[in-house]
Amino acid sequence: MNMDNIQQTILSKLTSSMQAPMRLRDLIRNIRAARTAAEERGVVQKECAYIRTTFRQEDNIWRSRNVVKLLYLNVLGYPVQFGQLECLKLIASPRYTDKRIGYLGAMLLLDEKQEVHMLMTNSLKNDLNSSEQFVVGLALCTLGAICSPEMARDLAGEIERLMRSSAAYIKKKAIICAARMIRKAPELLEMFIPATKNLLNERSHGVLISSIVLMTEMSERNEEALVHYRKSVPQLVKLLKNLMMSGNSPDHDISCISDPFLQVKILRLLRVLGKDDAESSEAMTDILASVATNTESSKSVGNAILYETVLTMMGIQAESSLRQLAINTLGRFLLNIDKNIRYVALETLLKTAHSDYNYVQRHRVTIVDCLKDVDVSIQKKALELSFFLINSANFKSMTKDLLMFLGNADDELKAICASNLCICAEKFASSPRVQIDTMIKVLTTAGNFVRDDVVGTLCQLISDTPTLHTYCVKQLWLHLNSDELDTKQPLVQVAVWCIGEYGDLINDPLELQDPADDEANEANDLHENIFDLSPVRPTPASADLSDLLIDITNPTIASIDGLDSPDLRPKVFDRSDEDNSDAGSSVNEASSNKGDQEKHSDKLTSTSVVDADDLINACQEIIDNPKMNVSTKVYALNCLFKLSARFPNKAASIKVITDRSTTNLNLELQQRSIEFATIFSRHEDLLAAIFERMPPIEKASKDDEESESDDNEDDDGRGPGKNEDEAGSHELLGDNLSGLGGGGVVDGGLIAELM
């Protein structure tokens, strides 16, 4: 017996005595049988310990089986990095079954960031030169998955050679590897351009798809390659035409459409080649129109081709008729029952609306109908597109539809919809009355989901429109008498501010609008009121009180409104059109129907007199309501202060109400009440001058808004926040004089004399 026979005998005995490891199916069964996560971890840890032990043996005949189990554990999320070197050993094995497991493990356990993967470069090079095409295929698949820049430079020559292989199985994989190498090492692009010369003449659809992917990648990354492949546009057009005209081919047809995957790849390459090139765009115009017209849209594959065709039409220098055809195709997508198709149609329309506004505008009705979809993602896109399509001509109809949507929208969309409606009203409303009516409807419908800056904007608009003071105070008083005011606190804030400023006008008559006035007619249609507004009696400012300041043991500066100084202009009204933050915590029902609006109009013009006690009681109920937030109560308290000047005979009863807040736990309410009590007891003769009507509030310019925002960020590092919002009620009262004189420095002698 020679030495070889002795070794073989010993090995066979050891093998027969060694227990075979657990099979993969048995491991899966044991893991699934575990009742708890801890029991499952115990099974995995035990098996991993056994696998580590077997890996330490020099001649491990079960390496392949153990690596397969590690791959399964890797899919479950367990760390199995200790098996990486075993994968490299399997790749170096001469057996095909071992190579297959080794390459699969390398693709799952290795990536280009790990240095271990560079150890397999030599094995890959050997397998790429193998005479077995399946071994070459394994190496190409792995290289395409984990190729790094260094590996690409080392193996580019082998890939370029395999791209000329006569076997389609090898060629298509080599072409995809070339695309991967170009992404990792763009300098290799020039090496592969000559190899793509005749690829479009291949009959294999797999090779064609791979070739077009490579050409697209090269054209997007290199201008010279883009110019080179533009010469192939006629050949691509012919190829696409042949696909459309060819008969049924069982090997490539899907839902009676010839190889939709190849068609989509061709359309994508045409889009890249036709961008910013009139000649190439003109050469593909006819085939694009033919594809858009003749492709069946009843199946998903047809819609995929149509969608890619639309993107190509939008991406090239197409004629207006071709772009219109693309928009109409997207319009048909909006009627599809598939939610995914409707979503991509809205997304594409939103991208192209800037350049093809008029064509998109024709599908406005269909876009608005998408707001009724139950899918929130579709609602968001439809809402964004609807606001983009609003203009002066369709403002009335679009506002009506969006208000209906606002009443039934989810909470997450209410704030966005309300803010954008107010922005559109500011931009496109034909008159201040239309804007005011729209914003009041938004406040009524959206409730507490309205942003705080909308309140300031509406107050500024009312203040700046003297002819609408009587109308606004009457209308807001009616809303203040509705139910569930705690769910509409922004509306309550505007109402009590308006009543405080113009409460003495609430019983003034309203004159009829001129029927020939187009703006009045549009406002009449929006709110169904046909009444004009009487002018407001001006209240002169008192120049003698320009330096009057009140300070009650608190550094907060209180002052007298009515000062016509640019530094005193309230900045609570500043707004950024792009900001769509959330506000509030409740939801209101949809807007009233037509009958309710007519009833509301009758109430507005009724001859019933509103007593001052009614206004005072309404403010008292707001202050006493535990559901109202502090900001709303401050508005109501300031309203009472103002009413003491509008109705001097009610000042004593107002003081009784405000005195209740002098012991309020909230410092803001307490301070305001003490200030008023001090003024009333020591300077009662100055009430009319102190609480006189504010002058028209000037809207701050955008530059002022940006400057104020920068100052706030510099002051405290967090920008405008809650403190600024709470200060809004002070500014609406007209008592924030921090910018007056020496930067808000208070004269101690004046304070001592007053207090």
Backbone φ, ψ for residue 258 (5° rounding): -75, 115
Which pLDDT score, from 0 to 100, does residue 635 have?
92
Q: Is the pLDDT of residue 434 over 70?
A: yes
pLDDT at 101 over 60: yes
pLDDT at position 523 is: 43
Rounded distance, CA 391 to CA 386, Å? Answer: 10
Mean pLDDT lowest for which of 44-48, 100-104, 284-288, 683-687?
A: 683-687
Whether 746 has a pLDDT exceeding 70, the answer reads no
**Is a pLDDT exceeding 80 seen at residue 301?**
yes
What is the reported pLDDT for 39? 93
The closest of 498, 495, 505 to 537, measured between CA atoms, is: 505
516: pLDDT strictly greater than 60: no
Give the residue-averaged pLDDT of 42-70.
86
> For 298, which DSSP code?
S
For the chain, percent of residues with pLDDT exceeding 90: 50
pLDDT greater than 90 at residue 143 = yes
pLDDT tens sequence across 175-209: 999 999 999 999 999 999 998 888 999 989 999 99
Q: What is the structure's pLDDT at 113?
A: 78
* pLDDT given at position 170: 95
* Under 8 Å between Cβ of 690 and 735: no
Average pLDDT of span 489-512 = 87
Asked whether the predicted pLDDT for residue 17 surpasses 60, the reply is: no
Confidence (pLDDT) at 20: 74
Structure confidence at residue 603 (pLDDT): 55
Between 737 and 5, name the one with better pLDDT: 5
Q: Kindly report the number of other CB atoms within 10 A of residue 119's CB atom.
A: 14
H runs (alpha helix) in 551-700:
594-604, 612-624, 630-646, 651-659, 667-682, 687-690
Listed ranges 137-146, 578-587, 711-720, 734-743; the one with the highest mean pLDDT: 137-146
Which residue, among 453, 439, 431, 436, has the nearest Cα to 402 in the 3D structure?
439
Lowest mean pLDDT among 89-98, 282-291, 485-494, 584-593: 584-593
What is the sign of the dihedral through the CA atoms of 179, 184, 189 and 192? negative
- Residues 153-178 have pLDDT tens digits of 999 999 999 999 999 999 999 999 99
Task: Look at residue 651 in the predicted model and tell me its pLDDT.
Answer: 85
703-730 tens-digit pLDDT: 555 554 455 444 444 333 334 344 444 4
Q: What is the number of alpha carbons within 13 Å of residue 551 lying toward its C-beta?
A: 21
In this predicted model, which residue has the larger pLDDT, 592 or 599?
599
Parallel, antiparallel or unpaired: strands 558-559 and 253-254: unpaired
Task: Answer yes or no: pTM beyond 0.95.
Answer: no
pLDDT in tens, 194-250: 988 889 999 899 999 999 999 999 999 999 999 999 999 999 999 999 998 876 777
pLDDT band at 694 (very low <50, low <70, confident <90, very high): confident
Q: Among 148-162, 376-390, 423-437, 700-714, where is mean pLDDT lowest?
A: 700-714
Give the mean model confidence (pLDDT) for residues 354-374: 92
Give residue-wise pLDDT tens across range 648-671: 888 888 888 888 888 888 888 888
**Above 80 in pLDDT, residue 371?**
yes
Tell which residue, 724, 728, 664, has the closest CA to residue 697. Answer: 728
User: Sign of dihedral through CA atoms 575, 577, 583, 589?
Assistant: positive
Give 383-416 pLDDT, tens digit per residue: 999 999 999 999 999 999 999 999 989 888 999 9
Average pLDDT over residues 285-312: 92
With contact defined as beta carbons under 8 Å apart, do 562 and 542 qualify? yes
